[in-house]
Chain A
């Protein structure tokens, strides 16, 4: 899942980014409103964390510019303004939730998860596909009761596939959402990681979950055969 953090306080932005990255989100940071607005409008994010007091373009104007073209993307506003009116203005301008500074990282993380759930009703803290279970909070994966040990990248990749169960996912989508790079790689890094995941997730199980979709990419689903 790809998140954009628009925050001009570099230390705070870095703190948020590190926390979210430790939860295996792909995170971009913009340090002013103009750059943040440009990135939010042109790139595909699953969530925005937006400060209101920003140089060049304030958070409210950024939200107002963004909403006509990106009505779906959840926006969590960070505000140091204590007045209720400011929070109301942010929500009325298109924010989905507000959090007051200073805040604890655990609260921010929980609000991010809540917004992700709200945006996509199928997304829960624990994802299930057949006998495969991924717990986002505990960072654990089990298949048919067997614990599967994954590296950080493998976990992020599996989570992305599970969040998009039954959908055909291209390599470009994977590289963008899991590696946070918006162009194709010169190596087969996605295929290599998919193979590693397959060995860990599918080997020894009666049915395969990770399927190759020829000419497209991959699909995680309970269907039996390779997808043509």
Chain B
């Protein structure tokens, strides 16, 4: 059956319109998520090592599927953090990074003590855009301050929890990460 060029063109335009509508809906959903971020969320003492391991562990199947290696080096104690915000931020961060990295690529996360702070270095970082803004806003609400890293990627600084501050009971097991 022959299809007229005009009909083909209108189908193409309709397809593009649907795609644009889809993108618009997604953008609105991300904006809604940004607006709903609670920037006054309470910060408590969390085991940064356990927390980051468990966040990364959830994304290991996706990394494996995409042929990307997640290197995680977390050697730190308690940080002042809002766990729920940290989990959401890390999910958005890893999701965004894994989406753009080519097969054979690497994501590096390092959590280490640095003077009175704990720094989380992340490479290669996220692409600019609304999702990156959301991620940094979530990180900020989690108690972190985000700066660009000289060698590329980003650094998120968290305050060390004071020794007197009781560590939040963690119901998670401390598990060994088995990436890629």
CB within 8 Å of B: which residues of A? 10-11, 13-15, 17-19, 21-22, 27-31, 35, 38-39, 42-43, 151, 153, 179-189, 192-193, 195-196
B interface, over-half SS: helix
Smallest Cβ-Cβ distance to B38: which chain A residue: A35
How many pairs, one residue from A and one from B, have CB atoms within 8 Å of each other in the complex? 77
- Residues in B with CB closer than 8 Å to A35 are 38
A30-B38, A31-B41 known; A181 and B84 CB under 8 Å?
no
Q: Are B36 and A39 in contact (CB under 8 A)?
A: yes
**A187 and B62 alpha carbons, distance in the complex (Å):** 8
**A96 and B61 alpha carbons, distance in the complex (Å):** 39
Most buried by B among A13, A30, A151, A185: A185
Q: Mark B53-65, 1 if CB is under 8 A from A, else 0.
A: 0000111011001
Task: List 8 extra interface pairs beyond A18-B169, A182-B32, A189-B62, CB under 8 A.
Answer: A10-B42, A11-B42, A11-B44, A18-B170, A18-B171, A182-B29, A183-B32, A187-B95
Q: Are B66 and A187 in contact (CB under 8 A)?
A: yes
- Residues in B with CB closer than 8 Å to A27 are 84
State how many angstroms separate the Cβ of A183 from the closest Cβ of chain B: 3
- Residues in A with CB closer than 8 Å to B172 are 22
Most buried by A among B61, B99, B172: B61
Q: Are B42 and A14 in contact (CB under 8 A)?
A: yes
**Residue B88 at the A interface, CB < 8 A?**
yes
State how many angstroms separate the Cβ of A172 from the closest Cβ of chain B: 8
**A204 and B111 alpha carbons, distance in the complex (Å):** 42
Contact residue among A14, A39, A183, A196 (Cβ-Cβ distance under 8 Å from B168): A14
Smallest Cβ-Cβ distance to B36: which chain A residue: A39
- Residues in A with CB closer than 8 Å to B57 are 151
**Residue B131 at the A interface, CB < 8 A?**
yes
Q: Are B84 and A29 in contact (CB under 8 A)?
A: yes
- Residues in B with CB closer than 8 Å to A187 are 62, 66, 95, 98-99
Residue pairs across A and B with Cβ atoms less than 8 A apart, 10 shown, are A10-B42, A21-B171, A28-B84, A29-B41, A31-B38, A31-B40, A181-B88, A183-B26, A186-B95, A196-B61
Q: Are B59 and A189 in contact (CB under 8 A)?
A: yes
Q: Are B98 and A14 in contact (CB under 8 A)?
A: no
Q: Are A182 and B33 in contact (CB under 8 A)?
A: yes
State how many angstroms separate the Cβ of A20 from the closest Cβ of chain B: 10
State how many angstroms separate the Cβ of B135 from the closest Cβ of chain A: 11
**A192 and B61 alpha carbons, distance in the complex (Å):** 7
**Residue B83 at the A interface, CB < 8 A?**
yes
List the 9 closest A-B pairs by CB distance, nearest first: A10-B42, A183-B29, A186-B99, A22-B171, A192-B65, A187-B99, A185-B95, A183-B30, A187-B98
